[in-house]
């Protein structure tokens, strides 16, 4: 069995990353979404075990020290991490795993899995991102300002990514992401065993 592929999707908060991941999971079969662990409180509509695993800072520190995370980062005062065992199990089964993590985590993953594919989703302009953040009415003002101040830093980090998707229109961004995943699935490194067995 061929080893699966790992696709990291990162974006500034409010750039539409979660919507894209939800939509791509519905239109492409065989994708596995990795659920992250976080210390922040659930937002309206978020569910335990579906959107995130919500734990305390103490528990997160315990798991981090035990080496249970593939990557972890502190973002806007809260910790986020990807369970290592879950990812390794899915890749061993040959599955395509989507990781919804920030640019810090993306760089950490790339160091461990050189074959990981990094996709950065960007808003068409800073003013559009600010409008999205304020429009969803989920964050207090100080959090919005904090997030906006981090946008330029995150976008500069996109130069280390493999692909850039500008989310000006969701349908176009979704098609770009779909093409990226299909192309990555077709890379020759995933089919060496197939060719050897057949020819």
Listing DSSP states for 28-87 in one string gives STTEEEPPEEESSPPPTT--BTTTEEE--HHHHHHHHHTT-EEEEEEETTEEEEEEHHHH
Q: What is the pTM of this model?
A: 0.80
Nearest to 21 by CA among 85, 113, 96: 96
Other Cβ atoms closer than 10 A to 184: 18
Other Cβ atoms closer than 10 A to 199: 5
| CATH number of the domain where residue 26 is located | 3.40.50.300
Q: What's the sign of the alpha-carbon dihedral 72, 165, 12, 30? A: negative
Give the sheet arrangement for strand 78-83, strand by strand: 52-54, 36-38, 78-83, 69-75
Which two three-digit tokens encode residue 14? 């409010």
DSSP 160: G
List the domain range (segments joined by +) for residue 45.
5-198
Angle at CA 139, nearest 5°, toward 141 and 23?
140
Nearest to 20 by CA among 195, 196, 181: 181
End-to-end Cα spacing for the chain: 16
Number of domains observed in the structure of the chain: 1
pLDDT of residue 1: 45
pLDDT of residue 195: 62
User: Would you write out the chain's pLDDT as a tens digit for each of its 199 residues?
Assistant: 467 889 999 998 778 888 999 999 999 988 999 989 999 999 988 999 888 999 999 999 999 999 999 999 888 789 999 999 989 998 888 889 999 988 888 988 999 899 999 999 988 888 877 887 788 787 888 888 887 887 878 888 788 899 999 998 999 999 999 999 999 887 755 566 556 666 6
């Amino acid at each position: 069995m061929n080893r699966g592929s790992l696709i990291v999707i990162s974006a500034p908060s409010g750039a539409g990353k979660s919507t894209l991941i939800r939509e791509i999971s519905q239109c492409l079969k065989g994708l596995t979404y990795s659920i992250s662990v976080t210390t922040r409180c659930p937002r309206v509509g978020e569910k335990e075990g579906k959107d995130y695993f919500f734990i305390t800072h103490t528990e997160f520190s315990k798991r981090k020290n035990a080496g249970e995370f593939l990557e972890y980062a502190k973002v806007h005062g809260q910790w986020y991490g990807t369970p290592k065992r879950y990812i390794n199990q899915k890749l061993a089964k040959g599955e395509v795993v989507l990781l919804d993590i920030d640019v810090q985590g993306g760089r950490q993953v790339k160091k461990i899995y050189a074959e990981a594919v990094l996709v950065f989703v960007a808003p068409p302009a800073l003013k559009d991102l600010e409008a999205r953040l304020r429009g969803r009415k989920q964050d207090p003002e100080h959090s919005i300002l904090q997030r906006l101040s981090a946008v330029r830093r995150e976008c500069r980090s996109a130069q280390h990514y493999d692909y850039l998707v500008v989310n000006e229109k969701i349908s176009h961004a979704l098609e770009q992401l779909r093409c990226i995943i299909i192309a990555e699935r077709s890379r020759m490194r995933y089919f060496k065993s197939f060719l050897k067995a057949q020819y």
